[in-house]
Amino acid sequence: MLLTEKSVRKILEAGPGSGELTVSLDLGLSESEIRVLEVGVDFGEGGLVPFPALRRIQKDPDSVFRVIGGAVEKVMLFSPETQKTYKLRPTRSWPALEISGVLMHRVAGTDPLEDAASKVRALGRGRLGEVLDTCCGLGYTAILGAKRADAVTTIEIDPSVISLARLNPHSRPLFVEGSRIQLLETDTRQAIVNFRESSFDSVIHDPPTLALGGDLYSSSF
């Protein structure tokens, strides 16, 4: 169960003891019924969360929170290997990926969903055949591309990014067996030299910032 400032605002506006309320617990994918009691909110399997915990979420609109056993925790990871922090950040549509304070999605004047859709549209109309997506991230480009492609191969090197994607409801199609998406958890630089010539009809190359993925901008790549 996931909460944001937006969903908590609806709960707090209803007020203590307001009874049954419908809110999204999966970042907008669906609506669920909860019970707003005098002392807190009954999230069913998520447990009873007191109002002070919900007010803390309200003060942090740039984070996503998990509800576990009556407690809330920020959806954030720290990797000892990369020495970076990773978090989901709410937007007006699908959540963005943030690494050490740097957004991996465009949000100014757009949102992650529309941003990914624009990349797929850039490939042209009609069927897309076999597509390579070199930098998976939360998988939005691969997910939207798979709707028009025969198959999408998408690559992600960072285990922490994969872990966040598994927590993100909008990334679920990445992990569905038998889908058109093949996720390779490896280094794109190594993977591309092992593909046969003419393996793909289209390539989407959308690396992170130069500071985080400079090698993916190199002439050798």
pLDDT tens per residue across span 40-89: 999 998 899 999 999 999 999 999 999 999 999 999 999 999 999 999 99
H helix and E strand count, the chain:
7, 15
CA distance linking residue 35 with residue 49, whole number of Å: 11
The answer to whether 65 and 75 have CB atoms below 8 angstroms apart is: yes
**Of the candidate ranges 20-34, 55-69, 201-215, the one whose mean pLDDT is the lowest:** 201-215
Per residue in 121-176, pLDDT tens? 999 888 999 999 999 999 999 999 999 999 999 999 999 999 999 999 999 999 99
Does residue 212 surpass a pLDDT of 90? no
Does residue 210 surpass a pLDDT of 80? no
Q: How confident is the model at residue 107 (pLDDT cuts 50, 70, 90)?
A: confident
**Of the candidate ranges 8-17, 120-129, 208-217, the one whose mean pLDDT is the lowest:** 208-217
CA distance linking residue 71 with residue 49, whole number of Å: 6
Exposed e or buried b for every residue in 70-95, given b needs 16+ CB within 10 A?
Answer: eebeebebebeeeebebbbbbbebbb
Strand order in the sheet with 65-68: 2-3, 65-68, 71-74
Per residue in 183-196, pLDDT tens? 999 999 889 889 99
